[in-house]
Amino acid sequence: MFVRVLQIIAATLYIVAAIGTVAYNELSFFWLAPVLAPAIYFIFTLPNISVPSGPYLPPQPIDRTYINVRIEELKSGPPHRNKTQYIDSVSRGIPYSNERIDYLEFPDRLVLCEHLRPIEAAMRAARLPMDNPRPGQVEVGALLRKKPIEAHFHPDPCVVFGLGPGVDNHAPDINVIRCTLCGHSIEENGYNNTPWPAA
């Protein structure tokens, strides 16, 4: 909205300057029409940049029935899943699958493809904070260092390093290691800047 106001002010100053120039040079005001037309058109056709484009999508309501069923599953399941931290998260609509909980509870569990598994295994052995929020995706609480990882593990050509979006609009991009064959990935969680590997 602020940018839009600045644009209107600039166009208005242009109109005032054009009128002043015509009057000062004692020109026919007939010349104002072609001079002012672009500025007037510009003012009235400015897009409202404060309004997002596309249709408005209202927030989706939380499916309480599914949440209640999921909570009962956790309570009746193995003890490592029947924990307050997971039940409270699920009650707020945060998804915690059995696979995700198992990954958090068992530090030796590996879920990635054979191309990324050696890197994942070394991270698990180092007891880095890790999560498995979705199938084929692992988040790690560390700053991934491309050159030391390549030197230590000599990954296959299908393993590529890239960048992903940060945790919010103001956060820097995160480093991502992705397998182009399997679609699996290791991603920084964006909350920990401890370099890995350390050397």
pLDDT tens-digit readout, 146-158: 999 999 999 999 9
Find the distance separating the first CA and the last CA of the chain, reported in whole Å.
48
Share of the chain above pLDDT 90, in %: 58
Q: Which residues contact residue 188 at a Cβ distance below 8 angstroms, ignoring those fewer than 6 apart? A: 139, 140, 141, 142, 143, 144, 174, 175, 176
Could you give the CA distance from residue 21 to residue 180 in angstroms, rounded to a whole number?
Answer: 63
Count of other CB atoms within 10 angstroms of residue 184:
22
User: What would the pLDDT profile of 81-107 be if each residue is shown by its tens digit?
Assistant: 999 999 999 999 999 999 999 999 999
User: What would the pLDDT profile of 29-68 be if each residue is shown by its tens digit?
Assistant: 566 666 666 666 665 665 554 445 556 666 667 788 989 9
Best CA proximity match to 74, nearest among 94, 96, 106: 96
Mean pLDDT: which of 46-50, 68-72, 169-173 is highest? 68-72
What mean pLDDT do residues 63-80 have?
93
- The pair of structure tokens assigned to 123 is 């991270």
Q: What integer best gives the mean pLDDT of the chain?
A: 83
- The phi and psi torsions of 178 (rounded to 5 degrees) equal -130, 140
Mode of pairing for the β-strands spanning 185-188 and 159-164: unpaired
Sign of the alpha-carbon dihedral angle for 73, 75, 77, 81: positive
Which SS3 state, helix, strand or coil, does residue 98 take?
helix
- pTM of the full predicted structure? 0.67
